């Protein structure tokens, strides 16, 4: 099992907190959507791209916000 260097993780996280977060407001949600759009432009369908897993994480955060806060359209 890999040992986690919490100090290194903390330093890396501090550089990401303005970009990667759980959205709690519509504005934060929109910010994440724009970030995801940028990631999609960069990564495309290249699953081996270094940012592919980040794109997946951001997508999950957006999906959860939508499930919790966006009313479904009745069809």
From CA 36, how far away is CA 23, in angstroms rounded? 13
Q: Is residue 37 part of a domain?
A: yes
43 assigned to some structural domain: yes
| 13 occurs within a structural domain | no
Is residue 2 situated within a structural domain? no
Counting the structural domains of the chain, the total is 1
Split at pLDDT 50, 70, 90, the class of 75 is low
Structural domain of residue 50, as residue ranges?
Answer: 18-69
pTM value is: 0.86
Quick check: is 74 in a domain? no
Other Cβ atoms less than 10 A from the Cβ of 58: the count is 23
User: Which runs of consecutive H residues, i.e. helices, occur in the chain?
Assistant: 6-14, 26-43, 52-69
**Is 35 part of any domain?**
yes
- The Cα–Cα gap between 55 and 21 comes to 13
Q: What's the pLDDT tens digit per position in 3-61?
A: 889 999 999 999 999 999 999 999 999 999 999 999 999 999 999 999 999 999 999 99
């Amino acid at each position: 099992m890999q040992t986690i260097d919490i100090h290194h993780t903390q330093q890396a996280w501090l550089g990401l907190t303005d970009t990667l977060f759980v959205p709690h407001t519509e504005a934060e949600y929109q910010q994440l959507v724009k970030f995801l759009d940028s990631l999609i432009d960069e990564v495309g369908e290249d699953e081996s791209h270094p940012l592919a897993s980040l794109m997946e994480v951001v997508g999950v955060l957006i999906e959860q916000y939508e499930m919790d806060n966006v009313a479904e359209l009745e069809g």
